[in-house]
Amino acid sequence: MGSTEVKDGLYYSKEHEYAKVEGDVVIIGITDHAQNALHEITFVEISGVGTTLKAGDECGLVESMKASSDIFTPLSGEIVEVNVALEDAPEIVNEDCYGKGWMFKLKPSNLDAELPGLMDAEAYKAFIESE
Amino acid sequence: MTQEKRGVSMSEKLERTQLYDWHKEHGDVIPFAGWEMPVRYSDIRDEHMAVRDGVGIFDTSHMSRFFVRGPQATEFLQRMTTNNVSKLEVNGGHYTTCLNEKGGIHDDLMLYRIGTDEYIWVTNAANGPKIKDHLMKHSKSFDVEVLDRSSEIAMIAVQGPKALGLLSKIARRDLSEYKRFTCNPVDIAGYDTYLCRTGYTGEDGAEVLVLNCPYTDEGKKRAIGFWEELLSQGTEFGIKPCGLGARDSTRLEAGLVLYGHELDENTSPIEARIPYAVKFKVEPHYIGFDTVKSHKEIGVKKTRIGFSMIERGIPREHYPILHNGQVIGETTSGGVSPILNNGIGLGYVPPDLLNTGDVIEIDIKGRHRKAKVIEWPFYDPQRYGATRTV
């Protein structure tokens, strides 16, 4: 599988989503480990802007050449922006999952309580090694 | 994110083909139908396009190969299968099905006649054990012998518009003299093979049975030797080794059925719309004959359709199909067509309800997305596939 990139400063879920806190919003996407496992992503769809979600809710779909996977939000809040570039170029997730391949931005509703429930980079590295 | 689990549990004992060591070194190996097989070596899309534009090779040694021979071989096989066995010439092959007593499909297979009283039955990996039992049981009433030679023969599919060019180059003679749907013993670069001019991608090509490849160090070396010869000689033809991913995407794009998806014990060949596999002027009547005849003459309860997505979304198997807001059926296969760059699929609906061009909806995990009923193959047969004219 080659080397998997885990970025410091991000928060990670067991479903292989990451959350990057940036001011008032949280940027959410799938991890390098996840995009590697999926390979050749052909389709991404995220619930619409304005959707209110509870942590763990299903909120989108990623298709690869081989399989279909659900996306879950790691945090509660309201979707304020969806990465529309992925509609035409879903392969960006394979190329740059932590950068241009982000999936949606969330206005969190319970950040302080929920963030400690996610893993930091160290813990996530250990988690994917144990999986 | 949770990925849907596929294949069998790892605790189950998995089988390996003679080419396993090569796959493990160069590809991404996954469990499939009781076997450890490569899903891809590079990108599924690139492997798929190599088959459409040049040539791709697939290890299909996981399929079962039964040799049926004896004075009553033809009669026995006519009892077992739905196509007209007596019309099959020596060194010919045809696609056929094997039915259960209710007319459901027990197996779909290629049958090759290699002698007056000798045939090769090539079938789905997952159906191998079931069919072996079926053949052994029924062969007791006939003067025939059924031999499972799967483990001593490697099988490599060479597929694409340049497949015959590559094989001819290696054999140092023009192999296109062997027409499609023939099966002949041919020496290819010192390898004894049966060259079967068939395939499962929609493209021209061959399925090559490489003889004398038992699962020993020497046999494995021999199979890998043939495989690597194809790869090294195939560079000029744009060759790529292809895994199960491209095998599924090429067969789906050609509209070809897959056992366990479009075909099963509760589906007849008439419902599956593979009429060319079914004949009625045959003697003796095969198992399931009466049901299939009534399906043909009186009608069916369901029929297979193909569809292409109009709205965004990728269909997969077991998604509900809707028409005018009502669920009318279910998908059996789905995925992305690299040629159309669009979601395509196959499924079953009631007969006489839909026409080509009608708009249906596919329920993709709760999202209803429009699709259009279209005929297979999904690609333009003037530009791609064995029928291409350009």
Look at residue B73 in the predicted model and tell me its pLDDT.
98
The residues near B289 (Cβ < 8 Å, ≥ 6 apart) are: B99, B103, B280, B282
**For chain A, domain boundaries:** 11-121
Give the pLDDT score at B12.
62
Q: What is the pLDDT of residues B229-275, one digit of tens each?
A: 999 999 999 999 999 999 999 999 999 999 999 999 999 999 999 99
Closest CA to B320 of B363, B272, B350, B278: B363
Residues 47-66 of chain A with CB under 8 A from chain B are 61-63, 65-66
Q: Cβ B249–A65 below 8 Å, yes or no?
A: yes
Whether the per-residue pLDDT at B39 is higher than 70: the answer is yes
Chain A residue with minimum CA distance to B27: A1
Task: Tell which of B3, B32, B336, B340 to mutate to test the A interface (max A CBs under 10 Å).
Answer: B3
Instruction: Quick: pLDDT tens for B318-353.
Output: 999 999 999 999 999 999 999 999 999 999 999 999
pLDDT of B147: 97
Question: For all residues of chain A together, what is the average pLDDT?
Answer: 95
Q: In the A/B pair of chains, how many CB contacts fall below 8 A?
A: 60
For A105, residues 6+ apart whose C-beta sits below 8 A from its C-beta are A25, A26, A27, A28, A79, A80, A81, A82
Mean pLDDT of chain B: 96
Nearest chain B alpha carbon to A33: B1
CA distance A43 to chain B (A): 7
What are B299-325's pLDDT values in tens digits?
999 999 999 999 999 999 999 999 999
Q: Say how far apart CA B290 and CA B105 lie, in whole Å.
A: 14
Hey, do B20-61+153-252 and B301-377 end up sharing a CATH topology, with the first three levels equal?
Answer: no
User: Are the Cβ atoms of A43 and B312 closer than 8 angstroms?
Assistant: yes
Q: Which of A40, A61, A71 shows the shortest C-beta gap to B45?
A: A40
How far apart are alpha carbons B378 and B374 in whole angstroms?
8
- Please check the confidence at residue A16 and state whether its pLDDT lies above 70: yes
- In total, chain B counts a number of residues equal to 390
Is CATH 3.30.70.1400 what the domain over B64-151 is classified as, yes or no? yes
Q: Does B5 contact chain A (CB < 8 Å)?
A: no
In the β-sheet with B56-59, what is the strand arrangement from edge to edge?
B183-188, B191-196, B205-210, B154-159, B56-59, B240-242
Write down the domain spans for chain B. 20-61+153-252, 64-151, 301-377
Reduced to 3 states (helix: H, G, I; strand: E, B; else coil), residue B85 is helix
Which of chain B's residues have a Cβ under 8 Å away from the Cβ of A72? 1-2
- Return the bridge partners of A46, or none: A60
User: Rounded to a whole number, what is the distance in Å from the CA of B178 to chain A's nearest CA?
Assistant: 35
Q: What is the CATH number of domain A11-121?
A: 2.40.50.100
A64-68, B56-60, B223-227: least confident range: A64-68
Among left, alpha and beta (phi > 0; psi -120 to 50; other), residue B174 is beta
Q: Nearest 5°: phi and psi at A6?
A: -120, 120
- Provide the pLDDT confidence category of residue B8 given band limits of 50, 70 and 90: very low
Work out the number of other CB atoms within 10 angstroms of the CB of residue B221: 13
Strand bridging mode A41-46 / A17-22: unpaired
Q: Which residue of A has its CA nearest to B243?
A: A66
Q: Write down the pLDDT at residue A66.
A: 86
Q: Which of B114, B113, B119, B128 is nearest to B17 (CA)?
A: B128
Confidence of residue A2 (pLDDT cuts 50, 70, 90): low
- Is the pLDDT at B205 greater than 60? The verdict is yes
DSSP character for B15?
A: B
Residue given tokens 């021209």 in the structure block: B204
Cis peptide before B38 (omega within 30 of 0): no
Six-digit token string for B96: 């056929």
According to CATH, the superfamily of the domain at B301-377 is: Aminomethyltransferase beta-barrel domains (2.40.30.110)
For residue B335, what is the nearest residue in chain A, using CA coordinates?
A65
Per-residue pLDDT averaged across B267-287, rounded?
A: 97
Question: For the residues A3-10, what does the mean pLDDT come to?
Answer: 93
CATH, range B20-61+153-252: 3.30.1360.120
pLDDT (tens digit per residue) in B104-151: 999 999 999 999 999 999 999 999 999 999 999 999 999 999 999 999
In chain B, which residues have their Cβ closer than 8 Å to the Cβ of A66?
39-40, 44, 245
